Homo-oligomer: A and B are copies of this chain.
Amino acid sequence: MRAQVVTIQDVARAAGVSPATVSRVFNGGSVTPARAQSVQEAAAALGFAPNRVARSLRKQRSSVIALIIPDIENPFFTSLARGVEDAAQRTSLSVVLCNSDEDTEKERRYLEVALGEQMAGVIVAAASRDETDLGPLAARGVPVVAVDRRPRDAEVDAVRVDDHHGGEVATRHLLQAGYRRIACVTGPEGASTSEERLAGYRAALTAARGAGAVDDSYVRHADFRVEGGRAAMRELLSLPEPPDAVFVANNLMTIGVLDALREAGRTPPGVGVLSFGDVPWASLVRPSLSAVELPSYELGRAAAELLLQRMDGSASPLQTVVLRTRLQVRESTGGPAGA
């Protein structure tokens, strides 16, 4: 059993040159045109493909970048992944996706793989603010970009959206539409996005009604998934005085919220629903929902571009890019009485 189909040695022998020259042909060293051509031909004839592992070992860097996301079943992240891929597409790098499943242990394993495989760069939407440890990668000099979520102490570039502002605008919109008892279903306590969206919600209520305006029984933490949204909304509906509107901090939870509302026989706009992030395949939902639109694709693209810059050796100071969200108003939040 031969070890490798065809190595650089074989090509060198066939072309009558040294391995070093073959390497130079493939990596843009200076080689006489005639020789270069005969190497090309020999390589083509033998079907030579460089062994990427050997190359990575020697160069101390592979040509793969890792994108670690917390939920591969969430269209927000898959769209973000498309953005990353499209940006990487124009280079010779390949993107591989890792699904941490909101599990810091799985995430840790993937970070270890990225380090151990000497990946050229890592883009990560952190599963947790406190437990995600980007230290080893940074120490090793691997470029890292945090996207969407921020790990607490990480000294890395970041791309995210204006969560606080988006949450504020959303809540203000519900207030202006005439809803009075506005609840909030946000994500897990560990995530930066959960907390900032919630903070925006609080800020809007406080601005409108003064300090103490936030009734904490109207605030629920869930898990950023459909089931979590459903459970949280059921709880809210069973309160003595159920809310007449709800700000939901992510797209999937909004689906659960809508399910729970339908169960209870209530639908927008009788009850106001405002989602942070468009509901997937929004065209399926009637009436169509108002939502804070997130530039998921652009988030991925921006993160990839930042990463590529760093990989090119940019030494500019660490950046955080904040992309703007946009409130998309639709029929669903016309107001409690259609007002």
A residues contacting B by CB (< 8 A) are 1, 3-5, 49-54, 56-57, 60, 62, 64, 66, 72-73, 75, 78-79, 81-82, 85, 89, 94-99, 101, 106, 109-110, 112-113, 115-118, 136, 139-141, 226, 255, 258-259, 262, 279-281, 283-286
Contact = CB atoms under 8 A, between A and B. Distances in A.
Q: Which of A54, A136, A255, A284 has the most chain B CB atoms closer than 10 A to its own CB? A: A284
Nearest to A112: B49
A276 B325 CA distance: 35
A94 B56 CA distance: 19
A97 B101 CA distance: 14
A85 B99 contact: yes
A121 to B, nearest CB: 14
A80 to B, nearest CB: 10
Contacts of A279: 284
Contacts of A113: 52, 64, 94
B116 A52 contact: yes
A73 B78 contact: yes
A259 B286 CA distance: 12
A281 B280 contact: yes
B5 A139 contact: yes
Contact of A116 (B51, B101, B136): B51
Contact of A281 (B56, B117, B284, B286): B284
A307 B78 CA distance: 25
Given A49-B115, A73-B78, A94-B110, 18 more contacts: A4-B60, A49-B112, A50-B116, A53-B62, A62-B117, A64-B113, A64-B117, A66-B96, A72-B78, A73-B79, A78-B78, A81-B99, A82-B99, A94-B109, A97-B97, A97-B98, A258-B283, A281-B281
A199 B112 CA distance: 47
A280 B284 CA distance: 10
Contacts of A5: 136, 139-140
A106 B255 CA distance: 33
Contacts of A51: 57, 116, 118
Q: Which of A1, A3, A117, A140 has the most chain B CB atoms closer than 10 A to its own CB? A: A117
27 contacts: A49-B115, A52-B113, A52-B117, A52-B118, A53-B53, A53-B56, A53-B62, A53-B118, A62-B117, A64-B113, A72-B72, A72-B78, A72-B81, A73-B75, A73-B82, A82-B99, A89-B106, A94-B110, A94-B113, A95-B98, A97-B97, A255-B281, A255-B284, A262-B283, A279-B284, A280-B280, A284-B284
Nearest to A86: B101
Contacts of A106: 89
B284 A116 contact: no
Contacts of A99: 81-82, 85, 97
A118 B54 CA distance: 10
A99 B97 CA distance: 8
